C-alpha cells in the first residue's frame, strides 16, 4: 500500500531555513541537500513504519516517528505521524539541537492539523 505524504507549512519553513543556512556556503550544496531530503521524505510512501517511534513522543497520545537524513554531523531529524493512509511530516531539525520535548511536538502537530483545517 502506498501512503500519501504531506509536508506541513512548518516543515517547509524548517527546510527553507536549513537550506538558506547551507546556501551561505554553497548554492549547489544547498540544492543537493534540499533535493536529497525531499527524496528521503518521499520514501515514506512505501514503508513509514520502518522508522522508529521518536523517544520524545512517548508521552503523547499520537505516535510520532522519526526519519534520519544525512551523515555524521550533518544529520537531520524528520518528525512525522501516520494517520490511516497519510504520512504527515510536521517538523525538521538538525540532530545536534536539543531534542523536541513532548509539549513542542504536541504543539507542532496541532498547528499542522489546524493549518490543514483538520
Domain ranges of the chain: 4-116
pLDDT of residue 55: 84
The pLDDT > 90 percentage for the chain reads 64
Residue 48 has pLDDT above 80, yes or no: yes
Whole-structure pTM value: 0.86
90-96 long-range contacts, CB within 8 A, separation 24+: 90/8, 90/10, 90/11, 91/8, 91/10, 91/11, 91/14, 92/11, 92/14, 92/15, 92/18, 92/37, 93/14, 94/18, 95/68, 95/70
Q: What is the mean pLDDT of the chain?
A: 88
Q: Domain 4-116, what architecture?
A: 2-Layer Sandwich (3.30)
pLDDT of residue 114: 62
The pLDDT > 70 percentage for the chain reads 93
Amino acid at each position: 500500500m502506498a501512503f500519501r505524504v504531506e509536508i506541513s507549512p512548518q516543515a517547509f519553513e524548517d527546510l527553507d531555513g536549513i537550506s538558506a543556512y547551507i546556501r551561505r556556503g554553497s548554492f549547489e550544496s544547498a540544492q543537493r541537500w534540499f533535493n536529497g531530503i525531499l527524496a528521503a521524505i518521499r520514501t515514506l510512501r512505501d514503508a513509514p513504519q520502518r522508522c522508529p517511534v521518536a523517544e520524545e513522543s512517548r508521552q503523547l497520545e499520537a505516535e510520532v516517528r522519526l526519519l534520519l537524513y544525512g551523515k555524521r554531523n550533518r544529520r537531520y531529524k524528520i518528525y512525522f505521524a501516520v494517520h490511516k493512509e497519510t504520512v504527515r511530516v510536521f517538523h525538521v531539525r538538525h540532530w545536534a539541537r536539543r531534542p523536541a520535548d513532548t509539549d513542542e511536538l504536541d504543539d507542532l502537530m496541532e498547528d499542522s492539523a489546524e493549518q490543514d483545517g483538520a
